[in-house]
Each structure stands twice: as structure tokens, then as C-alpha cells.
Structure 1
Amino acid sequence: MSMEAWCQHYASVDICCLCPDFLDNTSSCHWASSFYDGRWVAGTTAGGCMNHKDTFWINPQFRFKLQRLDEHCESLLGPNNMLVSLMQKPDKRNRRLVSSLHIGFSIFQVGKLLQGQKGKFPAAFFNGRKPVAQTKNYLNARETMEFFRLNPGEYFIVPSTFRPNETASFILAILSKNETHVDDHSGHHVEIHKPTQPTFSEGNQEGDNKNRKLFRQYSDQYEEVNAERLQKLLNENIVNELNSGSEGFSLDACRGLVALMDLSITGTLNSQEFIRLWKRVMTYKEIFFVKDVSRTGTLSLLELRNAVEASGVTVTDDMLNLLALRYGGASGHITLENFICLILRLDCMAKIFTKLSDGQGMHLRESEWMYLSMYS
């Protein structure tokens, strides 16, 4: 078929190949490719495009370093050295029912002063900063891609939907003639640090005496509190005071709290164990209401992220999504009772890992694993 006939019958052509060597008319220096699966989840990692300044930063962030080419490949390099493709991946169960979202991506350069920073770049980073490269338009298509040139250095890619709170999975493909090292900048670990919110201040003798008095009001003749008594104490002294209409702490939740704080392994809390628990409960209560900026009496997923950070724990996007699934209601919002249980368990399990591991992993016998998983 002649070129004229081709142009008469076709408007576009898709070329499938293993690498884009044909783009710069040379195959002597091969392109390197890397692929990454990700997901936008409403409320946690679906921040929308840059028009939404308050939420854009919560989108997934992929940091990469672009190395300098050797002299031979540099001399053969065309005007562009990087191809980025973003493809949305529908749910297999209802693939035919899912319509494509408007998707795109932006690339930002990381300055030398920020290259050692861990975790996501916050909303303040994007104030006044323009991307060094981005998709020209947010396309309502399964895939969007851009071909451009970047100088050697450190960058990060922010894939996003056009509107916030749109849930979908995606595949990010990065092809470059330069050697490229990519890292999911959402983090890989749960990290414990000092709470940014002031902790409960009653740590003096007078405060401890007040806590012991409260403990004695609900303890048994052996001066111990079991799950049933703890449930009554928490609901009468925290939930009922709020008049929020909440169902309060369930018996199962209180069993979990006892297991987390029960260092003596008796199924009950003594005075010292209770005071440790009570101080942390009051601290997390303060954090909950400070971060509940919507004043709804619950935490949205975005507020949950801020509350978890304020409590002294840093989690990945995937972990935050799991916490919302495990402790959130049908709306995905977190109540005060669930937030307290969530943070106590998260903090406890992270500290157990830190204590038993070498920093990368840990080895447990079956009995040890069963002990931790069944009573903690």
C-alpha cells in the first residue's frame, strides 16, 4: 500500500515494540524500561490534579535519579531522552462496566537541599513550584504518554486523576536511555517518632493519684480491671461525655486493648498498666479532636493521615488504605473509639518489630508467631 493510500484510509497508527529505539533512529544505545503498579484510593491517595492544591500532594509519588550517559551514547542522543507512560488498569471483575478516568502526570525536580528527605513531599512543596515536564492534557483514555528530555538529576513523578477522590489502579512505565533508579516515594516502612501533638500532661504525682482513683472505682477486689470493666470505664468516662451518639467501645475492642497493655499476661490490667493505657488514650483523644477539622466527630481518610502522623507514626499509603478498611465504617470514616484502638495497635506492633528484628526482617518460631498474632 502506498503512503498516499495509507493516509486516505487511516488517521493514526499504533506501533507495538519492546523498546522505543526507532524514536531516535539508533539502536546502538538501548533504552532501559521499568514498570510500577499503583493505585489511587479516594480519601488517601487520590488527590486530583494540581488545581486541587490542598490534596494534590497525597497522590502517589515516584522518585527517580537520572544518571549521565557515557560520551558515545550522549553523542547519539536525540532531542528527547525519556518516555513516560501512564495506563489506568480497570478492575478485572467489572472491566466492561468501568469507564476511563481523565489521567495525567507531572514531574518535579528535587533540589539538592531536599534530596535526603524521606517520605512524601507535603503540600507546601508544591506552592509556587512548576513541574519540569507534564502531560499536555488530562485525557479520558486508558493510556497517556509524553516524550521529553530531562537533564541528569533527581526528580519525582506524580500520577493523578483530574478530579480528586476517584479510585482506580494504574501502571506507570518509565523508559530512558540514561540509567534510572526509581523508588516509590510513598515509603516502605512504618516509622515511629515523637508525636507532633503534645502528649497528655498529667504525668506528675497529682495526675497519677487522680488516675489511680479512677482505676479503683472500676477495679475488682484484686485491684485489677478486665475487659468488661474497662469497657464500662471507657464508655462512661469518654464516650458518654461526648454525647456523640456513638455505640462506644465494644467488648472485643476492649479485649484487644487489654491484650496490648497486659505485660503480666493475666488477661487483666493492674494499676500501673491501666495508667499507661489511660495516658495514651487521653493523648490520642486530644489528637483526634485537633485533627477533626470538619467537626463531624469522625475522621475522614485525609484527616486520618494527619492524625496518624501527629500521634508519632509514619505509614505508607498502602498501610493507610488497610487501616481505613479495617477500622473505618461503611463511609470510610473513623470514630474516636476505632482511632484509639488503631493507633495503640499500630504503635505496639511497630515497636515489637523494632525490638525483635535486625532492622530489615525477623525470624520467629511458629509458637512465637502464634503467640504474637493471637494475644496482642
Structure 2
Amino acid sequence: QDMHTIGFAVYEIPHEFKGSQSVHLKKDFFLRHSSCARSENFINLREVSARLRLPPGEYLIVPSTFEPSKEADFVLRVFTEKQCETKDMDDGVVFNLEEEQEITESDIDDSFRSMFAQLSGDDMEISVRELRTILNRVVSKHRDLQTDGFSMESCRSMVSLMDKDGSARLGLLEFQIIWNKIRKWLAIFREFDLDRSGCMNSYEMRLALENGGFKLNNKLYQMLIARYADNEIIDFDNFTCCLIRLEAMFRIFQGLDRDCTGTVEINTVEWLFVTMCG
């Protein structure tokens, strides 16, 4: 198999980002700034190198494939005449979640009550299987979305996120909250599906997650893409599953981090609860 065609470009770091490591430069930066140096050409060799002379300063080196959306790992080596420091530029992990909605039965309108009664049956609660049927019926009506439907596992995660009484079912209030979340996530998905393909690539996914309150580092993004992408694209049900999982894990962490130090210490039982039930 032929090697990818690779090369690199060098950009001067703007004044506002100098000295800052916890920043991820997005597409807009590269559209507005031209490179100050680059490899002589992009070529399908194992190694591409160049000797450059640049004024003292801070620079960003971006190795890439010539063709877009090609997956590749790079080893970047920099040799300088004078001692210098090199670091990855990457976002810190930050989550800005909205406070959990305080909803009472008086906040729920009659049409939603009627819909819930029809969907939940005589027990007036929605099981995992019933939730899957409801969600798949809803997304099938949105023909602009690419989706192969919600799995039982993803619906279990939703129920686990909202199930406060341990019944493994959703009551009226719990279903209203998860319904509001799905509508919000659908709006985010559509807003950041920039090419209107009905699915997301990894770049669109990163923007969407940030809008949803999750700023992650590169390693975490790569793990999420590997977990939730199919042929390098993320459809709506996988996008929703990813957000559900992220929100559940962050909220569990917040509950364990009682002193808001950013670190937690847990015992075996708590660890099993988080990993098996979170």
C-alpha cells in the first residue's frame, strides 16, 4: 500500500496566543492566516524534512496529509541551533453544563401529558424498549438526518442518566427532561452539520461538543471519534449517545468532587458503580 502524501506548514503564533499552551486553533485561524514557511512539497515518503531560517518567536508546526480527512499519525522532530522549547498546543478539559432543570408537573402542558399517556401504557412509565421505539419513530421523520436508529444500549444509557428512583423506567417528569435534552441536541447537531450531509465529521463534532458544554483535549476527541464514528462519520444517534455518556460521567464526577478540587478519590464500590452503571 502506498504511503500518504505528507508535508507540513509553519505559522507564526498571534500575539494573543503567545505563551499559551491550552488553546486549540480552529479552522478560522488557518483561513485568516497564511503560513510563514512550509515543506518544499508534499510527497508520499516516510519522512519529509526542510531547513528553515525564521526570526525568533513562537511558531506552530502543522504536519498533515495532502488529501483532506486522511487518518495518520506523525512523529515531529525539531532541531534548532539555539535551545528552544516545544509543546503540544491543546485545549484543557472543561465542562460547562447547565444546572439540572427543576420541572414540576404543573410545568408540563396537556399535549405532552397526552402524548406520554399514549406512549407509556397502563403503568404510566416508559421502559428502555418503549424509549427506543419512540426515538426511532421520531428520527425516522427527520429525513435530513443520517441514522441507523437508536440501540438498546444507548437507550439504557439515557434511562440511567435520568432514572432518579432506580426503577429503570422514566416517569412523566423524567421523560420531559430527556425529551428536552434530545431536542436541544438535535438543534446543535443541525447547526454544526456545516455541509448539511445529515452526519458529522470529526471537525464538526468538535465544534458541536464545545457548543454543548464539553471542551476536551485531542486525546479524548480521538477516543470519542474511534468509539462513536462509523467510516469516519458520526450520525445523530451516535452523537446523542456520546453526549449522554459525557454528561452522565461529568455529573457523576461533580457529585464525587465535593470540594470542587478537580480530583476525586473513590473506593472499589464507587468505582464499580461509576464504570458499570454510569
- The match for 1:332 is 232
- Taking the TM superposition and a 5 Å limit, the aligned residue runs for 1:93-242 are 98-115=1-18, 116=20, 118-189=22-93, 191-193=94-96, 208-236=109-137, 238-242=138-142
Kindly indicate whether structure 1 or structure 2 has the higher relative contact order, using CA contacts under 8 Å at least 6 residues apart.
1
Q: Tell me, yes or no, if structure 1 residue 258 matches structure 2 residue 162.
A: no
- The SS at the match of 2:50 is strand
- The match for 1:374 is 276
- The match for 1:343 is 243
Normalising by structure 1, report the TM-score. Answer: 0.62
Q: Deviations over 1:190-220 (max 9, x none)?
A: x22379xxxxxx9996665543443333235
- The match for 2:196 is 295
- The SS at the match of 1:323 is helix
Q: Tell me, yes or no, if structure 1 residue 356 matches structure 2 residue 248.
A: no
- The SS at the match of 1:181 is coil
Check 1:127–1:333 CA distance in 2 against 1; reply closer, same or farther (3 A cut): closer
- Paired letter, 1:374: M
Q: Is the 8 A contact 1:223 1:271 kept in 2?
A: yes
CA distance in 1, matches of 2:58, 2:106: 52
Structure with a larger share of its residues in strand: 1
Which moves more between the two structures, 239-248 or 169-178?
A: 239-248
- The match for 1:314 is 215
Check 1:271–1:180 CA distance in 2 against 1; reply closer, same or farther (3 A cut): farther
- The SS at the match of 1:182 is coil
CA distance in 2, matches of 1:187, 1:124: 16
- The match for 1:52 is none
- The match for 1:249 is 150
Q: Is the 8 A contact 1:102 1:140 kept in 2?
A: yes
- The SS at the match of 2:264 is coil
CA distance in 2, matches of 1:167, 1:175: 26
Q: Deviations over 1:287-336 (max 9, x none)?
A: 2223334434332333323322332222333333332332233x332222
Normalising by structure 2, report the TM-score. Answer: 0.82
CA distance in 1, matches of 2:180, 2:75: 44
- Paired letter, 1:375: C
- Unpaired segments ≥5 residues, structure 2: none
- Paired letter, 1:369: W
1:178, distance to aligned residue in structure 2 (A): 4.0
- The SS at the match of 1:348 is helix
State the superposition RMSD in angstroms: 3.1
- The SS at the match of 1:158 is strand
- Taking the TM superposition and a 5 Å limit, the aligned residue runs for 1:80-95 are none
CA distance in 1, matches of 2:123, 2:70: 54
Q: Deviations over 1:331-369 (max 9, x none)?
A: 332222222111121122133334434655432211111
